[in-house]
A and B are shown apart, each in its own frame.
Chain A
């Protein structure tokens, strides 16, 4: 067992699990403003996996990293409330419109600035783009191995880590040397709740951008407690090549989007009476749907 330096990748996403009728604009595009934002569900599992290692091995540090608009600083605070040591926000208007290739390039530039890590964990996939591509692409760009769909860490040895993966048709136990990137499957344990003491300690953590409007009380507090200033990295801070980020660095382009309208079929409405059900069964047999 050895203490690990862990980086957790977490994304703020629109809550696609509760897509209401007003989530779509009349032209069929997504009305992001109408969707609440949440901590990507799989990433909460990744956070738990990291915090669990920290519980098991004293000296382990957990850094949470997110890329997103200013509002995504919620992810960093949420991380603090549950027990991470550090938070880093990558945010710059020029990162907008990135596909997975540009997203992974940007995140990797951030990880390279962090420099010292043994384990990077992310979610298996984000619920908006749903691609599950960012993890493997980051691993490739860092030149390190990847272990996808991790369900449980079975052992943490001096020179290797052993994990169980959840596949479509079974499970697999693998070992990998450090540093390694893992993506975490939703079947792994749920994330612990917020810790009241940590909420008290970190609830005034803010990024520079969030402080832009000016708030004398918070500014004074931040001077006294520098740990409340969430580091926020721009294109220059991570030395990103502007041709590889944002829309310009993204090969995939959305040509068109259509919303899926559940076409209401002419349905026959029945109740649980014998006559209704027998009638239906007879029709199905007559039309050779069954029998």
Chain B
């Protein structure tokens, strides 16, 4: 049966943002293929969870509900998903490129002996002609991903080993409700038939998860600082600017590593991907791993005392100067000119 399958992450009865993005992306692929969208969610106390998932246009939803399934652990989730995948036999399977998805998907791909494309940022459907076999394969998944530290984009396909799996980076797929009243068929999975006691050998002793209060992805304006900001104290200047502009503060990895700013505010290849209306990069050189996460901003301002900083090539406004001088002036003139 042709179908597109999405693995949904859930915690405390709330379906993760990435999973909603994936369901939307999965639906777009399913429509191109004229195939149903199938999803699976595993966790505890999931009664009614379909109300969060069905509106994305899900035709069938598998639910594994068991106290032992939350917080996430690799082995039981892998056993459950593998069982359903064997039974459903979808042609495309999507996971989030999150700490859960990147832990789980390779384990499942290994079990199913299939290909897995990591960290994709573009998904599409297309054809491929295999010269050796003189055969045209149609309706393949094009999983397009950055590699080599973000300096290339590779279109990765898989025509001979079923299914075609991919993990998808957070924040790049547009979330869109398909139909608020969409009817989904809910199928309860009998957990004990899929998992065994040995799947629970890894035990979680302690867990500290900070409900992240930062939402860089949706911020219209981001003021990002790099190593050039120089100290945690100087970052307050950036916070001030962000506050009066109604934006969020972000940082480069060098700024995070130096302890100037929290890890969860890192922008770039190994941080968050953002596409705000305005991105202000202060004291950031513009390494490819950083620009990979912000180059789609509608407008970019670079503040750097090095006129040759690579980031300047991307910027709409290049301000050559010391950020300690420039930012206070931006605050001052904004206050004077804004109504």
Residues of A within 8 A of B (CB): 14, 16-17, 19, 23-24, 28, 30, 99-101, 104, 127-137, 139-141, 145-149, 162, 167-177, 250-260, 262-272, 274, 276-278, 280-282, 284-285, 289-291
Contact = CB atoms under 8 A, between A and B. Distances in A.
Given A101-B109, A170-B208, A145 B158 contact: no
Given A265-B314, A267-B315, A272-B325, A140 B107 contact: yes
Nearest to A177: B201
Nearest to B270: A186
A151 to B, nearest CB: 12
A251 to B, nearest CB: 3
A19 B150 CA distance: 10
A270 B116 contact: no
Interface stretch (B46-54, B62-70, B172-180, B331-339): B331-339
Contacts of A284: 278, 299
Contact of A128 (B114, B148, B278, B321): B148
A129 B118 contact: yes
Given A170-B209, A262-B295, A289 B277 contact: yes
B142 A141 contact: no
11 contacts: A30-B148, A130-B149, A131-B106, A167-B99, A168-B99, A172-B71, A252-B117, A262-B310, A265-B314, A282-B333, A290-B334
B71, B148, B295 pick with most chain A CB within 10 angstroms: B148
B158 A252 contact: yes
Contact of A176 (B106, B115, B201): B201
A244 to B, nearest CB: 9
B319 A132 contact: no
A128 B147 contact: yes
A102 to B, nearest CB: 10
A281 B142 CA distance: 42
A100 B156 contact: no
Contact of A136 (B110, B156, B277, B326): B110
B116 A252 contact: yes
Interface residues of B, number: 89
A278 B295 CA distance: 25
Given A149-B99, A170-B209, A291 B115 contact: no
Interface in B127-179: 128, 142, 146-161
A169, A171, A175 pick with most chain B CB within 10 angstroms: A169
A172 B204 contact: yes
A272 B321 CA distance: 5
Contacts of A251: 114-115, 158, 160-161
B90 to A, nearest CB: 16
Given A129-B147, A170-B210, A291 B202 contact: no
A260 B153 contact: yes
A146 B334 contact: no
Contacts of A255: 128, 142, 155-157
A137 B314 contact: no
A39 to B, nearest CB: 16
B154 A127 contact: no
Given A170-B210, A267-B317, A277-B319, 8 more contacts: A100-B118, A137-B109, A137-B110, A167-B209, A174-B203, A253-B158, A260-B153, A264-B314
B9 to A, nearest CB: 11
B1 interface: no
A14 B315 CA distance: 29
B325 A145 contact: no
A270 B320 contact: yes
B35 interface: no
A149 B313 CA distance: 35
Contacts of A278: 329, 333, 336-337
Nearest to B315: A267
A93 B312 CA distance: 44
B207 A170 contact: yes
A148 to B, nearest CB: 5
B104, B315, B337 pick with most chain A CB within 10 angstroms: B337
Interface in B260-283: 264, 277-278
Given A131-B118, A172-B204, A258 B153 contact: yes
Contacts of B204: 172-174
B110 A16 contact: no
Contacts of A141: 110
B33 interface: no
Nearest to A137: B110
A266 B146 CA distance: 25
Closest 10 A/B residue pairs (Cβ): A272-B321, A251-B115, A16-B149, A251-B161, A131-B118, A170-B209, A133-B106, A140-B110, A252-B115, A136-B106
Interface in B302-324: 307, 310, 312-322
Contact of B329 (A131, A139, A173, A274): A274
A276 B319 contact: yes
B219 interface: no
A289 B103 CA distance: 40
Given A271-B319, A271-B320, A136 B74 contact: yes
B202 A174 contact: yes
B104, B221, B316 pick with most chain A CB within 10 angstroms: B316
Contacts of B152: 24, 28, 30, 257-260
Nearest to B289: A17
A258 B144 CA distance: 10
A100 B109 CA distance: 10
B203, B221, B307 pick with most chain A CB within 10 angstroms: B203
Contacts of B212: 169
